[in-house]
Structure formats: structure tokens, C-alpha cells
Amino acid sequence: MMSPSHSEPVTSILAAHRGQPGALLPILHAVQDALGYVPDYAVAQIANTLNLSRAEVHGVVTFYHHFRITPPASHTIQICCAEACQSMGAERLTRHAEKSLAQVSEGECELHPVYCLGLCANSPAMMIDDQLHARVTPEKFDRLIKKMGDGK
């Protein structure tokens, strides 16, 4: 399938941010919120409208951990790997998660480390899609994943 050179959501996002000083990050967030990632054709369209080169826009997209250039899986799981969570077993939790999720079919779930969710007094912490969870034991992890699988 060929990528569209202009996509309606991107066009309206660009229109909504016209004239905003330093608009590139807000635009990229809006695109990723709408499409789940920042596709190549969006980079081209953004570059065109903001009078930047594609390389410049691409450079910004790839500089920041938050932006992604490939479509996400159905669920995104982020486990905090920073010091406070390490002190409460984040490493063990991550190893457990990798093992548990190996059984889940591809494209359904992706696992990423994240550096601090601001829940450091309730470590270890993690996020499933946009839901925060704290004091996560391997047992609690399995319960939460099962719930996620049930579509709840």
C-alpha cells in the first residue's frame, strides 16, 4: 500500500497549531496521539508546512524517547527501571514480565523500560497503556496482564 502524501488528521493538526511559537513538539504529540506513532508521511507533511527539512524533523522525532516511528502493539507496558524501583526489585519484575509476555502473541503487547514515573515511594512502578500501577509484585503483574487480556 502506498502511503498517502497528505493525511487528513495531520492536515488538521497542522492547521490547529498554525502560528504557535515552537510548535513542533506540540504537533508531534498531537500526531502521535491521533495515529499512535509518527509515520514518514507525517514527517514530510510537517516539514513542508513548518519550512524545515525532513532531516530536521526526523532528527527531533528520534531525539526524544517518547516519539516512535513504527506503529505500536495493541498494549504498551512500561516498567520503571530507575534507581528507586531497582531498590525494590524492578529488575526481577522485568525478568518476570519478559517471561510472562513471551507467551503472548506478537503484536499484542510490547514491553519498554521507562525512567521514573514519579511513584518512587511506591516502587516498583509501571504503566499499562495509560494506567499507572505501583507496588507491583510478579503476582500482581500477572493479575493485571490477565485483566488486560480480558479487555477490561
Query: Which residues bind to another protein, rule: CB under 8 A?
Result: 21-26, 28-29, 50, 59-60, 63-67, 82-88, 114-123, 125, 130, 132-135
- Distances in Å between the Cα of 66 and the Cα atoms of 33, 37, 78, 104, 136 are 11, 10, 12, 24, 23
Of 21 and 151, which has the nearer Cβ to another protein? Answer: 21
* Among another protein, ligand FES, none, partner that 121 touches (CB below 5 to 8 angstroms by kind): another protein
CB of 27 to another protein, least distance (A): 8
Instruction: Give the CA dihedral 141, 144, 148, 151, nearest 10 degrees.
Output: 160
Of 69 and 84, which has the nearer Cβ to ligand FES? Answer: 84
Q: Does 117 bind ligand FES (CB under 6 A)?
A: yes
* Among ligand FES, another protein, none, partner that 144 touches (CB below 5 to 8 angstroms by kind): none
Q: Is 65 helix (H, G, I), strand (E, B) or coil?
A: coil
Alpha helix stretches (DSSP H) within the chain: 8-16, 24-35, 40-50, 54-63, 83-86, 90-101, 138-149
Residues that bind ligand FES (CB under 6 A): 80, 82, 84-85, 116-120, 123, 125
